[in-house]
A and B are shown apart, each in its own frame.
Chain A
Amino acid sequence: MILEALEREGVEYIFGYPGGANLPIYQHLPEHPKLKHILVRHEQGAAHMADGYARACGKPGVVFATSGPGALNLVTGLCTAYMDSVPMIAITGQVNSTQVGRDAFQESDVIGATSSVTKHSYLVTSIDQLPRVIHEAFHIATTGRPGPVLIDICKDVQMADAERITPERLEIPGYQLNGHVNLDGAMAAAQAVANAERPVILAGHGVLLSHAEPQLREFAEKAGAPVGTTLLGIGAFPVNHPLSLHMTGFMGTGWNLKAVQNADVLMMVGMRVDDRVTARLADFAPKVKTFIHIDIDGSEMGKNVRPHIELVADAKNALETMTPHIGELHEGRGKWFSQIDAWREEHPLKYTHSNGHLQPQDVLIDMYKRCRSEAIVVADVGQNQIWAALWWNYDRPGLFLNSGGSGTMGFALPAAIGAKFGRPDLPVWCVAGEGGFVMTAQELSVAVEHKLDVKIVLLNNFSLGMVRQFQDDFYGGVRSQVDLTHMPDFVKLADAYGLPAVRVDKFEEIGPAMDAAERTKGPFLIDFRIDPEANVYPIVPLGKSLNDFWEAPDK
């Protein structure tokens, strides 16, 4: 009955792992060939795969796990999806309803453990609840601000016979999608941006989730306002557009931060305005007279920055409502653009080419050339993530995936695998450091088993690079527990898993290795041994304001 319900919801893939408390579901899985089950090697991998699948194709990712340790292994993956508003359905087995609370074998309070990292959750103790719960769960996961929903199903319920019940009409009194929409300030917001002398728009993940990229572009062009994106908003606005400010936040570009800190009107759309965007909150955008905040989730209004004008709606709806109200633009706009151009020239992205070591930026620039704006790039967490974000050069939206809110190391490989299942028509590149990569490297087996064209770009600096950089710069230069000299030989590791791999130490070897990766059908790994001292710049020192960003030293 669970599997029938999933078919009804249009599920194609399930990422899962069987165990004692979900065996009844697995017993009937072969009767449902339309549901393709991907056996992972660890439940965390299943959650990240479902996450990558959902981010890549927009449909909710579905996960199965058994009770106790199986379900608890999902927690990191659920949190990752929750923080980044990714639709996901996790179906976990629970002990028999009569055993709940008796500390039965592999029993754990999964609802209790996951409540704070799910949009909603259900414990199903009776078969009568099941059709309604599954239908509701998909609705809640995919609508409004998306997120993961967990359904914990007792084993006896999984075995219960039931008439084939078609789900009741959806009636969820505590979940009203349009109840909070408020666009009263749309005209005032549009006029505030148009009348601003120094406007800036910042765009977040919400723009991508509501597919509002064309609306954002139209609004920005008509209102003559430059657009920066958050880390998760990358792709919401073409980086090569003359109005682009590229990435904002404490590792954003210098010209972006200068623009934000000097803006008189700041419009923030589809974003949470978290600490990575604002740096020291008291000094965030200090010259702004009018903050405009647009988000589908009304609780984001004033959570971090109190807006003067707030619009509670999805980004597309809000931008479409605002655009007709753009009047005449402030006459000072030309001066503002020249000022931004000057900052762009004064604070370009830069790195050291020639110190004898392989530079990560050279690797990524080569990779992005091959991507031609039409491959999915999944980054892990740490320096690799920020390098991949800053050297992004796409004009198309939605193809850069990473764990922004949760910052989950080990995300990239399983998420890239999930992304490939979601978008088999697109090349998928996985960018990771060696630290994060080994956290979920067991999922290489899944890539090999399903002959997935996932190209793994390992930026291997033999250390926890971002932590090392923070220790060097902000923690007294004490390098503590960041050395990763003792790691597997990644070419041999790949061989053991059954995929081809090469090692690259020199700039000249980048092209041929990438050629080999592209020529190869199925997964391929390149172990790029990069400069162990390479750092991420710009960076705002911890606790400082966006004004205080450091740039790459001239060497």
Chain B
Amino acid sequence: MSERERVRVLSVLVEDGPNTLSKISGLIRRRGFHVRSISVGPSRQAGRSRMTLTVDSGHAETDQVRKQLERLVEVIEVEDVTGEEVHSRELVVAKVAPSQVAGLVERGAKVLNTGADGTTVEFAGEGKDVGDFINELMQHGVVDVARSGPVVMRRTA
């Protein structure tokens, strides 16, 4: 199976508890999966968090990732959105040289702050766009960069 086929994108609703993250990460390790990206934040429901996981299923059958996560009591709902029509957004925050700013803003970046040691910009988009954005930064000697994992939501029909 190709690497592309092995990777699942999952939107997971979980209990917001002290054990949740370690149980999920422990399960992923034990079953031989591998996390490509993870993002987590509060959900609309009190006491519950929404997690977006991108997981490589390794040598296991790909549907095992969802099935094994569903076995955890801390996990309330798992939605496998791999290959679905989704909004998938990532965020990058970068500190760049002042000479770059104009070009980046033209691409859609937003200036967060300008200081003596550089200008901080943010850019949000699909994973590929964020990747291209970072590649361009790299060519011009970026000072510092931080990138989030994707946050995913199914497109409404």
Contact = CB atoms under 8 A, between A and B. Distances in A.
Interface string B46-80: 00000000000000110110011011111110000
B26 interface: yes
Contacts of B61: 302-303, 306
B79 to A, nearest CB: 14
Interface in A85-122: 111-112, 115-116, 119-121
A170 interface: no
A485 interface: no
A299 B64 contact: yes
A174 B64 contact: no
A298 interface: yes
Which of A116, A123, A174 gathers most chain B CB within 10 Å? A174
A302 B18 contact: no
Contacts of B18: 123
B22 interface: yes
B155 interface: no
Nearest to A298: B67
Nearest to B19: A111
A175 B67 contact: no
B70 A299 contact: yes
A314 interface: no
Give the interface residue-count category, chain A: 20 to 34
Contacts, number: 46
Interface string A169-190: 0001111000010000000000
B76 A299 contact: no
A174 B19 contact: no
Contact of B71 (A111, A299, A301): A299
A123 B63 contact: no
Contacts of B30: 116
B19 A123 contact: yes
A491 to B, nearest CB: 44
A527 interface: no
A275 to B, nearest CB: 13
A115 B23 contact: yes
Nearest to B63: A302
A115 B21 CA distance: 12
Given A115-B22, A303-B61, A174 B15 contact: yes
Interface string B15-49: 10011001100110010000000000000000000
A140 interface: yes
B76 A173 contact: yes
Interface string A260-301: 000000000000000000000000000000000000011101
Given A123-B18, A298-B67, A302-B63, A174 B26 contact: no
Chain A to chain B: the 7 pairs with minimum beta-carbon distance, closest first: A299-B67, A120-B73, A174-B73, A174-B76, A173-B76, A175-B73, A302-B61
Given A115-B23, A175-B73, 4 more contacts: A115-B19, A116-B27, A172-B73, A302-B63
